[in-house]
Amino acid sequence: MQSIDTTDGESLGRSNRGAESARDAGGPVGLLNPEFGPIEALVGFGVFAVLVDRLTPAAVAGLADRFPELIAPFTTGTAVLLWLVGGVTVLHVALDLFRPNPRTFTDPGARDAFLDAQRPSAADVRRNLVVMVLGAATALLAWETVVAVFEAMIPVVIEPGGQLPASLSLGNVAILVVFFLAVAAYARALDRVVVGGAREFLYRHYTGDWE
């Protein structure tokens, strides 16, 4: 019986495995690293859009009494403003994400060390979760007062020189300030939780450390 020479096949297999090991062990590697900021920016735009949507009917009603001819330009201008701000927000988010990416490292070890340094600590996660809950709760509690203050200010804007609304008290102004601070804190904390979670996933994915 004729014997089959498997030497060439074994050599080829060892060569392929050696090439794979060399590729895994060294050489430049790239990384698309999640950057902080996009979630924060999108939440800010979302709150702005909801406020504009909530206040537009009151503004239209105020214009109907004094300047009905301005209703159509106002509603068109409001829509254009939302699209413009939305477009600028998306462009800003895209630039923040892709300006530093892709990152290049000399070898996988340098990449993994970078990812390890970028991981959020357990204390970071807990702190951001607490800030998220407190920020969201504070903003929700202040929401109706904030809307009432803005709605009361619309007639003053439409017809300057009128009497300031009673709702524009020092206490309500303080609530207005607290609302925006709470929204900012919530958006920033949510951004850190989401981006931090993505960075943690990338670290575990590349290192195989799922424990």
Rounded Cα–Cα distance for residues 209 and 189 (Å): 26
**5-35 burial by CB neighbour count: b if 16+ within 10 A, else e?**
eeeeeeeeeeeeeeeeeeeeeeeebebebbb
What's the pLDDT band for 154 if we cut at 50, 70, 90?
confident
Q: Rounded to two decimals, what is the model's pTM?
A: 0.78
What's the pLDDT band for 2 if we cut at 50, 70, 90?
very low
What's the pLDDT band for 25 if we cut at 50, 70, 90?
low
pLDDT digits (tens, 9 = 90+) for 83-95: 999 999 999 889 8
Q: Within 10 A of 159 (CB to CB), how many other CB atoms are there?
A: 12
Total residue count of the chain as it appears in this document: 211
What's the pLDDT band for 183 if we cut at 50, 70, 90?
very high
CB of 30 within 8 A of CB of 102?
yes
What does the domain layout of the chain look like in residue ranges?
34-207
Taking residues 194-202, report their average pLDDT: 92
pLDDT digits (tens, 9 = 90+) for 104-144: 888 888 898 999 998 899 999 999 999 999 999 999 999 99
pLDDT digits (tens, 9 = 90+) for 29-59: 888 888 899 999 999 999 999 999 999 888 8
Taking residues 160-185, report their average pLDDT: 82
